[in-house]
Amino acid sequence: MKIAIAGAGAMGSRFGVKLQQAGNQVTLIDNWQEHVDVINRDGLTITTDGQGDQVIPMTAKRPAEVTEQFDLVILFTKAMQMDAMLQQLNGILDNQPAVLTLANGIGNVETIERHVPKEQIVVGTTVWSSGLAGPGHITVTGTGSISLQAVVPDKFPNLPGLIDTLNAAGLHASEAANVMAAIWKKAGLNSVLNTYCTLFDCNIGEFGALPNWRELNDRVLNEFQAVANAAKIQFSVADVTDLIAAQFSPETNGGHYPSMHQDMAKHRPTEIDFLNGYVAKLGTKLGVAAPNNALLAQLIHSQEALRGI
């Protein structure tokens, strides 16, 4: 299969390597010139926890250099980069490829629908992880899985075929029963852990050790619940809170600094507008107040501004 990975940072590169090693023809597409140049010149370096480095020859291009068509486009930009990437890729979407995104945040389907008919779109969530050590260099650990669903399930041509392609690459994909509920659940978790750990400059275990972590949690998630109800999305504060509490111990994710914390530390924009910010905006549209989420989004944007982001 001819596969484009549009947004080939930490996650896109990890998925690209696995899909190429399974026999697919993979092109990494990215706007970071230095990253593209290093991959084409030296290959992609993968540092695997405890197993040292591997260098994998791969093809990388800037969006403007891409002229061929693909069977599958996997969008792995950050949520706020997706619209611009899709605009740049306009020409390669002509032969109606399947377009898949597993990016975090709510609202990605709406972004993709501005460029691609919804019958071609598949969305999901993943617990695979990856880090970007520098241009052309990712660090990976552990394994993961993917849960996905076509946006219009009875119109998408061949979801089992797409799942087979991902599974042949060892990506452990399966069809979700209710992908929007899964996306909101993950966004709920991120809107608590990512946002507070970034504001407090702490890791997940330190957040969990705060005596008032649950009150802080509920202030975010009760508003998620109200907005989800109005939007007719399945959501459970108790389920997301359990999932969050399960991350606190050192054996799970206690020592981890969430991606938003890492973005802020690297002076890169955060995905806040697709987490707390999205729920606050959707709440306004639906007549449901979400002032805590609106304030948290403003605080993160203020922190970005203070860092010149």
Binding site for ligand NAD (CB under 6 A): 7, 9-12, 30, 32, 35, 76-79, 81, 103-105, 126, 129-130, 132, 259, 271
The CB-of-87 to ligand NAD minimum distance in angstroms stands at: 14
Closer Cβ to ligand NAD, 187 or 280, answer by number: 187
Task: Kindly state the tokens that stand for 11.
Answer: 């996650």
**Which residues lie closer than 8 Å to 139 by C-beta, 6 or more apart?**
46, 47, 48, 49, 130, 131, 132, 133
Side-chain-side CA neighbours of 67 within 13 Å: the count stands at 1
Closer Cβ to ligand NAD, 224 or 288, answer by number: 224
* 215 burial type by CB count under 10 A (0-12 exposed, 13-18 middle, 19+ buried): exposed
Closer Cβ to ligand NAD, 55 or 133, answer by number: 133
Active-site residue, 186 included: yes
Closer Cβ to ligand NAD, 195 or 288, answer by number: 195
Catalytic residue from among 2, 186, 281, 285 = 186
The CB-of-32 to ligand NAD minimum distance in angstroms stands at: 4
Distance from C-alpha of 54 to C-alpha of 38, rounded to nearest angstrom: 15
The CB-of-141 to ligand NAD minimum distance in angstroms stands at: 9
The CB-of-77 to ligand NAD minimum distance in angstroms stands at: 5
Closest-CB residue for ligand NAD? 9
Around Cβ 192, how many Cβ atoms within 10 Å? Answer: 29
Q: CA torsion, points 156, 160, 166, 168, in degrees to nearest 10?
A: -150
| Catalytic site positions | 186
